[in-house]
Structure 1
Amino acid sequence: MARLNFVQFIFLAIVYAGITGKSPATAEVMKGAYWFEQPLLPPSAIETSLFSHLYYAFVMPNNVTFKLEISNSTATSISNFIDSLHSKDPTIKTLLSIGGGDSDSLVFSTMASNSSTRKIFIDSTIEVARNFGFDGLDLDWEYPQNPKEMNDLDLLLKEWRLAINLDATTSGRPPLLLSAAVYFAVEFFLSNTSRSYPVASMNQNMDWINVMSYDLHGAWSNNTGAPAGLFDPKSNVTVIYGIQSWIGAGALPEKVIMGIPLYGRTWTLKDTSVHGMGAQAVGAGPGNGTLQFFQVEQFNNDTGATVAYDVNTVSAYSYSGTSWIGYDDPLTVTAKIGFAQALGLRGYFFWACGFDAFNSNWKVARQGKILFLSPCINNFLSSVHCELTHKSEVTLVKK
């Protein structure tokens, strides 16, 4: 194997991208994370200094009335979330996220299909956000299924923005922020039903777009892969392709936020002697296909796993016996931060808050906090020189 040091590995990633560093726009920088109710990480344990925005995930509209109906237990959870964060950092921004990957897409498509149900939904979201003291709202509709639903999303965003502006005028308070979590690419090119997001409407009506640049590979395929690989010489299923597709379709870079996973995808290898990127597998590995970052580190330590870095995808993976895990770590996140800054993106967000906290001391989140907008990244992009290698796998030599 070729041996690279820290700087060489990151520089190689930037060279692959073919881009040069530039400062993001002057809009408020996003260093965000989604948090959901979990016993291991109450809101009081969140290291707020690492984030500018935190999302409460998730709530759903009623499938008949389309209003946000907050149960007593959820109301208690939300209040604890808001109060705990603001007691530690009064300046941190909070957003209420609506939907999620496990939500029923039909609820959103039905709601968005006519003006009366859109208004009911919109009015209730603003009311709930104001009542609990959120700074904004986030839509996580996964996903509009056809061109009509994309057109309905367009109408929903326009009407939502008008209602938010009216609320700000009548209440005298700052307008609520409005964001959305979206597919990794602007067009669903892997689907049998071609459809694209309404980018013009999103530019005009949203404060930013959270691009879910992850879950690109998983145990649903019987080949190992980088769950959030920056590049892939054999495929467009990559972070760089997805982000550039959004910008190519007209999304303003200062409205684009790169999603970074704090978890890995796992496989069970078919042959323990074949363990590189793309190796054949026979199904899900440890954790039934998913491990949080701290669990990946624990697995590596407990099993003495081999940890490798794939330069072609700019991703980490580890293997021990039949178990194989693809993930991001502080090193690969450094490359992603450089990439995001090189494109002038507004920032990044993590799914999910705290997955790198337990026994890991917020290792990945700290890396993002230190590097994004740090002069060392710009200096690095403009001045670092190193000898490149054509090898695809490296053993890292940290300095």
Structure 2
Amino acid sequence: MVNFGHLLHEWRVAVKKEAKSTGKPQLLLSTATYYKPEVTLDDVYRRYPVKSINKNLDWINTMCYDYHGSWDLSATGTLAALYDPNSSVSTSSGLQSWIKAKIHQEKLVMGLPLYGRTWKLNDPSLYGIGALAVDVGPGIEGAMLYAEVQEFNAQNNAKVVYDEPIVSYYSVAGTSWIGYDDVASVKLKIKYAQSLNIGGYFFWAVNGDQEWKISRQASETWID
């Protein structure tokens, strides 16, 4: 991460040099990051160079999703919960930790998923978040675009559940379980981001939407 900070500085120097030689505006520099500034994947501690990010990047895209997925098939889990009463693995926790690390808030951009993660339930009668699972569910390697989730739900008469405390959706059809975001959860996440006065929000990825139903929320949602 120290070297990453040096690299960001070298890029900014190069961008300034290029702009000066061409007379054009400086190129924008950004990066996609983990949902929080501290990374502990594989039990290896890493911390993003926040000072270098503030100085050299125009913004960062925090990937506030993939909190659970096909890498753990033992139980279902939320893809991108805004809150999690049982752990710090949540979008609110991640964004707050970036702010606590003194990121310039206008450089902080919240990621929103336009896809779902799927599991095959061990027992279809036990289908809540954290229910025992045995394999990935429908889709490619346990993932489906948001549009595909909607089609699957309609075709299979799936039971759709909105978990209000966590701010996340899941659907169940037989042994198939899908965790994802929909209109109501996206609206609340955008309002939350606005309340923090951060730089904005992005979707990964817009081609997963269904008739722009989700992505248009970015321009239609405002704090009351």
TM-score of the superposition, structure 1-length normalised?
0.55
Q: Which residue of 355, 361, 366 corresponds with 2:216?
A: 366
Q: Offset at 1:193?
A: 1.4
Q: Offset at 1:237?
A: 1.0
Q: Offset at 1:170?
A: 1.3
Q: What is the CA–CA distance in structure 2 between the aligned matches of 1:335 and 1:351, rounded to whole Å?
A: 17
Q: What is the CA–CA distance in structure 2 between the aligned matches of 1:329 and 1:295, rounded to whole Å?
A: 13
Instruction: Report the 3-state secondary structure (helix = DSSP H, G, I; strand = E; otherwise coil) of the residue aligned with 1:259.
Output: strand
1:241 and 2:93 are equivalent in the alignment = yes
The equivalent of 1:228 in structure 2 is 80
CA contact (8 A) 1:220 1:283 kept: no
**Matches for 1:79-98 after TM superposition, within 5 Å:** none
Q: What is the CA–CA distance in structure 1 between the aligned matches of 2:53 and 2:14, rounded to whole Å?
A: 15
Q: What is the CA–CA distance in structure 1 between the aligned matches of 2:40 and 2:84, rounded to whole Å?
A: 16
1:184 and 2:29 are equivalent in the alignment = no
CA contact (8 A) 1:354 1:362 kept: no
Instruction: Report the 3-state secondary structure (helix = DSSP H, G, I; strand = E; otherwise coil) of the residue aligned with 2:144.
Output: strand
Q: 1:263-316: per-residue Cα shift (whole Å, max 9, x none)? A: 000000000100111111001000130000000000000000010111232001
Q: 1:125-166: per-residue Cα shift (whole Å, max 9, x none)? A: xxxxxxxxxxxxxxxxxxxxxxxxx01101000011011011
Q: What is the CA–CA distance in structure 2 between the aligned matches of 1:293 and 1:353, rounded to whole Å?
A: 10
Whichever residue aligns with residue 249 of structure 1, its letter is A
1:321 and 2:174 are equivalent in the alignment = yes
Q: 1:342-396: per-residue Cα shift (whole Å, max 9, x none)? A: 000111111112101xxx211100111212xxxxx322xxxxxxxxxxxxxxxxx
The equivalent of 2:24 in structure 1 is 173
The equivalent of 1:260 in structure 2 is 112
Q: 1:85-136: per-residue Cα shift (whole Å, max 9, x none)? A: xxxxxxxxxxxxxxxxxxxxxxxxxxxxxxxxxxxxxxxxxxxxxxxxxxxx
TM-score of the superposition, structure 2-length normalised?
0.97
Greater helix share, structure number: 1
Q: What is the CA–CA distance in structure 2 between the aligned matches of 1:312 and 1:284, rounded to whole Å?
A: 25
Q: Offset at 1:186?
A: 0.4
Whichever residue aligns with residue 223 of structure 2, its letter is N
Q: Offset at 1:213?
A: 0.5
1:378 and 2:223 are equivalent in the alignment = yes
Q: May I ask how many residue pairs the two structures share in their alignment?
A: 222
Instruction: Report the 3-state secondary structure (helix = DSSP H, G, I; strand = E; otherwise coil) of the residue aligned with 1:209.
Output: strand
Instruction: Report the 3-state secondary structure (helix = DSSP H, G, I; strand = E; otherwise coil) of the residue aligned with 1:364.
Output: coil
Instruction: Report the 3-state secondary structure (helix = DSSP H, G, I; strand = E; otherwise coil) of the residue aligned with 1:318.
Output: strand
**Matches for 1:268-287 after TM superposition, within 5 Å:** 268-287=120-139
Q: Offset at 1:190?
A: 4.6
Whichever residue aligns with residue 181 of structure 2, its letter is D
Q: What is the CA–CA distance in structure 2 between the aligned matches of 1:262 and 1:291, rounded to whole Å?
A: 9
Whichever residue aligns with residue 78 of structure 2, its letter is A
Q: What is the CA–CA distance in structure 2 between the aligned matches of 1:219 and 1:165, rounded to whole Å?
A: 42
Q: What is the CA–CA distance in structure 1 between the aligned matches of 2:202 and 2:184, rounded to whole Å?
A: 17
Q: Offset at 1:175?
A: 0.3
**Matches for 1:51-66 after TM superposition, within 5 Å:** none
Q: What is the CA–CA distance in structure 2 between the aligned matches of 1:239 and 1:333, rounded to whole Å?
A: 12
Q: What is the CA–CA distance in structure 2 between the aligned matches of 1:171 and 1:225, rounded to whole Å?
A: 50
**Matches for 1:82-161 after TM superposition, within 5 Å:** 150-161=1-12
User: What is the root-mean-square deviation in Å for CA atoms of aligned residues?
Assistant: 1.0
Whichever residue aligns with residue 148 of structure 2, its letter is Q
1:308 and 2:174 are equivalent in the alignment = no
Give the structure with higher Rg (CA): 1
CA contact (8 A) 1:224 1:278 kept: yes
The equivalent of 2:194 in structure 1 is 341
Instruction: Report the 3-state secondary structure (helix = DSSP H, G, I; strand = E; otherwise coil) of the residue aligned with 2:208.
Output: coil
Whichever residue aligns with residue 117 of structure 2, its letter is R
Q: What is the CA–CA distance in structure 2 between the aligned matches of 1:176 and 1:308, rounded to whole Å?
A: 44
Q: What is the CA–CA distance in structure 2 between the aligned matches of 1:310 and 1:223, rounded to whole Å?
A: 17
Q: Which residue of 20, 40, 50 corresponds with 1:199?
A: 50
Q: Offset at 1:255?
A: 0.4
